[in-house]
Amino acid sequence: MKIKKDDTILVITGKDKGKQGKVIKVMPKENRIVVEGLNLYYKHTRPKRQGEKGEKVLVPRPISVSNTMLICPSCKVPTRVGYQAVGDINSRYCKKCKAAI
């Protein structure tokens, strides 16, 4: 998966198209990510104690990685990600400015 936790992404399709956010959780088996402040839905919670009221809480739900693009930290532009082999490790790089991510 080319997107990792704490990356900044741009949503390119769906109800949050054009919005940016920070990745807070990555689920590689499902090919999904959870983005802070995007794809929010209400979750109804029950009261915990007597006399307390239930409430509606906004919760971010997972979004498919194919509907997002990584924003390069150096050139600040949505870009595709490439991989370069440097010794034994693969490092990500921006396809537009060729900078390491």
Complete domains list, the chain, with CATH: 8-75 (2.30.30.30)
Residues 49-65: b if buried by 16+ CB within 10 A, e if exposed: eeeeeeeeeeebeebeb
pLDDT on residue 54: 94
Model confidence pLDDT, tens digit, residues 84-98: 998 889 999 999 999
Model confidence pLDDT, tens digit, residues 7-61: 999 999 999 999 999 999 999 999 999 999 999 999 999 999 999 999 999 999 9
Taking residues 72-81, report their average pLDDT.
Answer: 95
Quote the CA–CA distance of 83 and 70 in Å, as a whole number: 14
Asked if 71 and 3 touch (Cβ cutoff 8 Å), the reply is no
